[in-house]
Amino acid sequence: MLESELQVILGPGGLIRDVPENEELLEQIARTLPLPPADLLKLGAYYRAYSTNEPLGNHLALVGLLKLVNDPQAQQGLQEVLVRTAAAAGRSIGTPQDVWDFEDYFDFGCDDPNEGGSCLPFIRFIPFSNTNLGLLVETPHPKSHHKKGHFVIGIVPEPASVQPAKRTVEA
């Protein structure tokens, strides 16, 4: 956990600068696993409940959904269900191997520098001590052809404590 007196030296766009004052934070980021898709989706819904936070909520939800569809086990399960469902309906859509290629649609060109894309970022929750709040830190994927470094994109409650608010629409 980050100490409550910790000072974070930021650069443009919330970049956590590689300076001695940030050494403890950078070490903790390196030790922290990225948030799973369920937590990203929950935080996305939480932030979309208020209009000024909607862009962050949309970003978190998008990354969470894309991480789900890029999960090899989820892809395999979906492909198998689609093939079986089509077969039960008297239709053949082939095998998952010769019909479905999620990689071409959802990898954002991550594995091919000529495609010009970027991989999905890693988003981590770095807790503050003595509170349920922490930094939401985004790190571009190591294979990304774009930004490098760690970026603070928000201060958020511990994902386990979040109860997404229902979005209200004013009449």
Tens-digit pLDDT profile for residues 3-40: 556 688 999 999 999 999 999 999 999 999 999 999 99
- Percentage above 90 pLDDT, the chain: 37
Q: Whole-angstrom distance between the N-terminal and C-terminal Cα of the chain? A: 43
Is pLDDT of 140 > 70? yes
What ranges do the domains of the chain cover? 12-70+107-161
Give the chain's count of helices (H) and strands (E).
6, 3
- Please, what is the average pLDDT of the chain? 78
pLDDT of residue 145: 62
Cα–Cα dist 123/10, whole Å: 17
For residues 38-55, average pLDDT: 90
